[in-house]
Amino acid sequence: MIISYRHRLLFLKTPKTASSSIEAWLAEEIFGGSESFFRESEEHEPFADERGIATRMGNGKAGDSEIKPHISLTDTRTLLGKQSFRALTTVTTVRNPFDQIVSLFWWRTARLHPELYSDLLGAPLKEVAKAFQEFVGKVPRNPWFRQRNWLVSEDREDEAQRVMRFEKLEEGFEAVRHDFCGATQTAGLPAFKSTLRRVDIEYRSLFNLSTRYSVGKMMDWECQRFSYKF
C-alpha cells in the first residue's frame, strides 16, 4: 500500500498483478530515494510520516506492524477511518483471474517448493499441467488473493475509483502518473521483479475442464465485473 497526502492518492497492491512495480515508482516519487533502494529493501519498516504511508516493498511480512504489504480495501478503511479513507482516491490493479492464478501457482511453487519448481522449469507441459491442477485443488474455498478484496469493501459501501488492467498496464500506469503526479513524459513501468513463470507456456494450456470450472466459480465476481473470460 502507498498513500500520498499531497497527491490525495491511495494505491492498494493486489497480488500477482505487477503491482510491486507501480508501488516502487510511487514510493520513489513520494518518499524520494532511488528506485533501486526500494527494490532492494523488502525488510525496511513501513514509512508513515507527513508525506504519507508505504508498506514494505515486495513480499516482505508485516511483522509487528498493522500495515500489511497486501492490505485489503476494508482493512485500509478501518486503519485510516472512513473520513480519511474517503478523502483519498483509491487506485489499484486487476488481472484476468485465470492468468492471475497461474502466476500465483508459479510464485507459490518457487517460494514454498523450490525443488519442484526447478524440476517444472524443464518439465514437459503434461507434468506442469498436473502440478497446476493439484495446486488448484488445494486452493481454499475463500482464497485471500481474490482481487475483489482490493476492489470493494466487504459491506460494499466503498470501492476503488481507479482500476488499472494488467493487460493494458503501461497505458494505465502512464495515465495515473499524469493525473496524480503531473508527469508529462513517458517513464515506462519499472521492472520490480523478474518473472518466475515459464513464458513458453500459455496459461490456458494448464487448465482442464475441472480447474477451469473451479477457478471460474471461485473468481466469478471478478470475471463478471470486468468481463474477463477464459
**Interval 65-84: pLDDT, tens:** 557 778 999 999 999 999 99
pLDDT band at residue 133, thresholds of 50, 70 and 90?
very high
What helix, strand, coil percent values describe the chain, rounded to 5? 45, 10, 40
DSSP letter (8 states) at residue 176: H
Per-domain residue ranges for the chain?
A: 2-95+147-181, 97-141+200-226
β-strands 52-54, 9-11 pairing = unpaired
- Model pTM above 0.85: yes
Other CB atoms within a 10 A radius of the CB of residue 117 amount to 17
**Interval 151-180: pLDDT, tens:** 999 999 999 999 999 999 999 999 999 999
pLDDT value, residue 65: 54
Q: Which phi and psi (to 5°) does residue 10 adopt?
A: -125, 115
First to last CA, the chain: 29
